[in-house]
Amino acid sequence: MKAILMTMRGWSQSARTRCAVTLKHAWGAATLFAVLIPVVHAVAADAPLTPEASAAKMAAEQLMTAKIEWRGPSSSPKPLAGKRIAVVSCCEAADGAARASRAMVEAGKALGWQVNVLDGRGDPQEQNKALNSAIDAKYDGIVLEFVDTTTVSDGVARALKAKIPLITLGTLKNTPDTIPDVSWDYAKHGEALANYMIWKSNGNVNALILLNTDLYVTRNGQWVGTKNVLTDPKKCKDCKVTVKEWPMANIDTQPGSIATAALQANPKINWGWCFDACMSRVSRALIASGLSSKMRGAGFDCNAESLQLIKDGQVEAVCAADPREWDAYAVIDNLNRLMQGQPTVNQGIPVRLFDKTNISTLSDYEMSHGWQGGYDFRAAYRKLWGVQK
């Protein structure tokens, strides 16, 4: 019998106006000890998989072995030099956002552009303030990075009225829908994670979903994909799901405390689910609380810290990846088109699933910077743009 529970965690208004500085690998002695503790709830090596788990295994493995090739544009207009671009980031304390911001600065530099990052600090009011400041400063183009257009609607209206080219990264659906977005298959990410959990638990999934309230794409992308699988009795008749919500402004504290309390209240929970900037914090909290062996984590983004957690067997067991730096170059390419009055194009962003069995395919650079897509996209875009390093 399925169980889906939803709770809304309260938070103060003041909490929404700050985004704490990202903690960098604050492990301590508890981490060293946790390396030696095997994670429970794994399927026994000789246990036969149920038909549902076998089907889930096949589906998950497809995303672990898919061939990566260039499916992006074959041509691009010559870049206009000397442009000033503002990137309004949802929250730079989240590494998935910070990776894209850094790469947009890098790509812009190759084109002779000045790219400035404005941190929205996990707060829609701060994001709207940043957007309006970019409009006032008369930037040549503006990028909204994981910022829902409906939460900054007055700034969006001003940008469009001022005829400033506006593009988004990772928002799935924009208002108005004439604003172009660079995205990938979010639902496929979510489906793959659900199938992986079913496979590795032989259909016995009791998942804690840590659902962010600010990211439209997470709620309507990855979560939809995961939910559609875990709540389908034909795919997992015994799956149980508990949903806990939290705001981006509380990323440094709330996901970890929610997970710790949930495990203490219900020891039958065997999986946790959220994007990697959240999952890495959950992992730290469980390690510090001595609960690292009680739950496995399924994340998405495959940031460097999460890749190391997976490699070391510390809570997070799997992550669904998009090459975030590739995403950023794709945004810059489409923004160049917009500023020249040309339509944007499908950038063909690939996706992949990583666990301990295939993480060895990543280079040392990817382990320290996140998955790069298995292709030299930087060289491909530089060739399109006619520029050197």
Same fold, 31-65+185-321 and 84-183+326-347: yes
Say which residues have a Cβ less than 8 Å from residue 357's Cβ, sequence separation at least 6. Answer: 64
Return the pLDDT at 387.
95
Return the pLDDT at 47.
80
- The C-alpha atoms of residue 74 and residue 125 are separated, in whole angstroms, by 39
- What is the four-CA torsion angle of 366, 370, 376, 378, rounded to 10 degrees? -130
Provide the residue ranges of all domains of the chain, joining segments of one domain with +: 31-65+185-321, 84-183+326-347
Say which residues have a Cβ less than 8 Å from residue 205's Cβ, sequence separation at least 6. Answer: 197, 198, 230, 236, 238, 239, 240, 241, 270, 271
Number of residues assigned to the chain: 389
- The C-alpha atoms of residue 19 and residue 126 are separated, in whole angstroms, by 10
- The C-alpha atoms of residue 340 and residue 81 are separated, in whole angstroms, by 12
27-86: per-residue pLDDT in tens? 333 333 333 334 444 555 568 999 999 999 999 999 999 889 999 999 999 999 999 999
31-65+185-321 falls under which CATH superfamily? Response regulator (3.40.50.2300)
- The C-alpha atoms of residue 341 and residue 19 are separated, in whole angstroms, by 36
Name the 3-class secondary structure at 169.
strand
Return the pLDDT at 156.
98
DSSP 173: S
- The C-alpha atoms of residue 349 and residue 351 are separated, in whole angstroms, by 7
What is 84-183+326-347's CATH number? 3.40.50.2300
Q: Where are the beta strands (DSSP E) in the chain?
A: 4-8, 84-89, 114-119, 141-145, 166-169, 181-182, 206-212, 240-246, 271-275, 296-300, 316-321, 352-355
Q: What angle do CA 238, 243, 249 make, to 5 degrees?
A: 155
A 10 A CB-CB count for 187 gives 18
CB 114 within 8 A of CB 87: no
The pLDDT averaged over each successive group of 10 residues in the chain (389 residues) is 42 38 36 38 69 98 92 96 98 95 98 98 96 99 97 97 98 95 93 98 98 94 98 96 96 97 98 97 97 97 96 98 97 98 96 97 96 96 92
pTM of the model: 0.86
Return the pLDDT at 13.
38
Long-range contacts from 171-175, C-beta under 8 angstroms, 24+ separation:
171/144, 171/146, 171/147, 171/216, 171/217, 172/216, 172/217, 172/220, 172/221, 173/216, 173/220, 174/149, 175/149, 175/150
Return the pLDDT at 172.
87
231-270: per-residue pLDDT in tens? 999 999 999 999 999 999 999 999 999 999 999 999 999 9
Return the pLDDT at 67.
87
